[in-house]
Amino acid sequence: MANSQTWNPERYARNARFVADLGMPVVELLAADRGERILDLGCGDGALTLKLADMGCQVIGVDGSAEQVLAARKLGLDCRVMDGENLSFENEFDAVFSNAALHWMRNSDAVIAGVRRALRQDGRFVAELGGYGCCAKICKALVEALHRRGADGEGASPWYFPTVEDYSTRLVHGGFAVSSIALIQRPTPLPGDLTGWLETFAESFTSRLPPASRPSYIAEVEESLRPELCDAEGKWTADYVRLRFSARKQN
């Protein structure tokens, strides 16, 4: 089934600003020089694209969401609607950068092939995505609550959270030398309750149900996770795991 996730820039800014705020380690790993030509793959609303532009890079952002691209363009950025599994650039970039986007692109071999085509000789691919085990507790609760409603829970997940071995092998087969790759446990405090996160990111699950049933589904998932992910002060922490890597195009 197609990924039914949609993006609303205001909702994203309210519930998910932390995604870009916590993206600085991958910006640092990119170590971009002024004047470098960078592709930001899955640029979203452009928060990190802007950081790269402010560092003096010539940056182009691409994202599958027209709404997010419009929000990014309002920041004065050169951003375009493009399918990450079907990139159309050739030999143009010193580096392809990506934060928190690749786990939405399930055909990773197509992504890697497009990134390789987009890069100049020796170009780098530096990215962070959800890694193996990311949001495992949240995913399990979403799946189980769908099962209780007679819906296919596993088939609803839009995400691909690879292991180090899986993604390294794909990079190498795709024509890259891996400079560094690691899985990082990153429990992530949420700015509000889990409902805000679920409403922002879990539409592929909720859309399996009729609209009238969705609020009680979300409430049930939140309640089932409260003992594990919410502390005594009511602060929610999501069980994020990141996969961060740097790779170089081989000729």
Q: Which residues bind ligand BEZ (CB under 6 A)?
A: 19, 100, 130, 134-135, 159, 201
Q: CB under 8 Å to 87, separation ≥6 — which residues? A: 39, 41, 62, 111, 114, 115, 117, 118
**Nearest distance from C-beta of residue 10 to ligand BEZ, angstroms:** 17
Q: Between residues 36 and 45, which has the closer beta carbon with respect to ligand BEZ? A: 45
* 79 SS3 class: strand
Which one, 123 or 158, has the nearer CB to ligand BEZ?
Answer: 158
Q: For residues 89 and 120, is the Cβ–Cβ distance under 8 A?
A: no
Minimum CB–partner distance for residue 185 and ligand BEZ (Å) = 13
Nearer to ligand BEZ, 84 or 130 (CB): 130
CB of 68 to ligand BEZ, least distance (A): 12
Q: How far is CA 152 from CA 1, 98, 223, in A?
A: 11, 31, 21
| Distance from C-alpha of 198 to C-alpha of 222, rounded to nearest angstrom | 9
Instruction: Map residue 131 onto helix, strand or coil.
Output: coil
Q: Which is nearer to ligand BEZ, 113 or 245 (CB)?
A: 245
Tell me the residue nearest to ligand BEZ as measured from the CB.
100
- In degrees, rounded to 5, the angle at the alpha carbon of residue 156 between the alpha carbons of residues 181 and 168 is 15
Residue 163, Cβ neighbours under 10 Å: how many? 13
77 or 129, CB closer to ligand BEZ? 129
Based on CB atoms, which residue is closest to ligand BEZ, 130 or 153? 130
* Paired tokens of 69: 């691209």
In the complex, minimum distance from the CB of residue 243 to ligand BEZ, in angstroms, rounded to a whole number: 11
What does the alpha-carbon distance between residue 159 and residue 247 come to, in Å, rounded to a whole number? 22
Minimum Å gap between C-beta 145 and ligand BEZ is 16
Q: How far is the CB of 244 from ligand BEZ (least distance, A)?
A: 12
Q: Tell me the β-bridge partners of 9.
A: none
